Amino acid sequence: MRSLEFKNYQNELIQQIAEDLESSLGFYCSDIYLTALGLYPGFKSLKKAVIMVSDNLDGEVDDYGKLYFGFRETTLTTRIKSRFNERFKLNQYQSPGTDMALLPFVFAHELGHIIQLDSKFRKYFGRMNHQVLETDPDYANYVGSDLETNADYLAAVIVGNSVYGSELGFTPPTEDSRHWRDWASQHPVVTTIDQY
């Protein structure tokens, strides 16, 4: 009986987080969060994630699974916009092209970093180099790192299975989850790396 009560409490908490995300970031980010939970139900790092939303925050995940996410101008820099537009080929979709259209992709990417913290990650995605690289001075190495390319892959999976992705016509990767590097190599960000 106690586990049923805990499960109900956890479901209520998840619903509350989804409602809070909808009121602060919009319906699509709430949709992204619930889609991620549906796709990776056994990943405790995602279920237990604490999501802090504020106007003066970037997208950042700490080692304890706390996601800081907001609208600070550094959240959607020109470099981030270029990278996500190029990686996800957003110009071919019916995207409005605004910052708000990119926000669900960026949010899904950050949820990908939370998924990477889970003990089940290796079972589903294989080995990964968890070395954290700085964006400067070598942006190419940063974008090409396992942490970033895998988070981009996870964002594509999550958005591709969401209501938002469906409305855009964005489809999820067809590669097996252990072949996320293949997906990344088929979705390079060469122009972004050359420019930045």
Q: Tell me what pLDDT residue 25 has.
A: 80
Q: Tell me what pLDDT residue 141 has.
A: 85
Q: Tell me what pLDDT residue 81 has.
A: 84
In the predicted model, what is the mean pLDDT of residues 30-42? Answer: 95
Range of the domain at 28: 2-195
Contacts of 138 (CB under 8 A, 6+ apart): none
pLDDT digits (tens, 9 = 90+) for 4-29: 777 787 788 888 888 888 888 888 99
* Cα separation values, 171 from 39, 40, 142, 163, 176, Å: 15, 18, 26, 11, 14
- Cβ(154)–Cβ(112) under 8 Å? yes
Structure pTM?
A: 0.86
pLDDT digits (tens, 9 = 90+) for 129-173: 877 766 667 778 888 899 999 999 999 999 999 999 999 899 999
CB atoms within 10 A of CB 96: 10
Domain count, the chain: 1
pLDDT digits (tens, 9 = 90+) for 48-95: 888 877 665 556 676 666 777 755 445 567 888 888 889 998 877 655
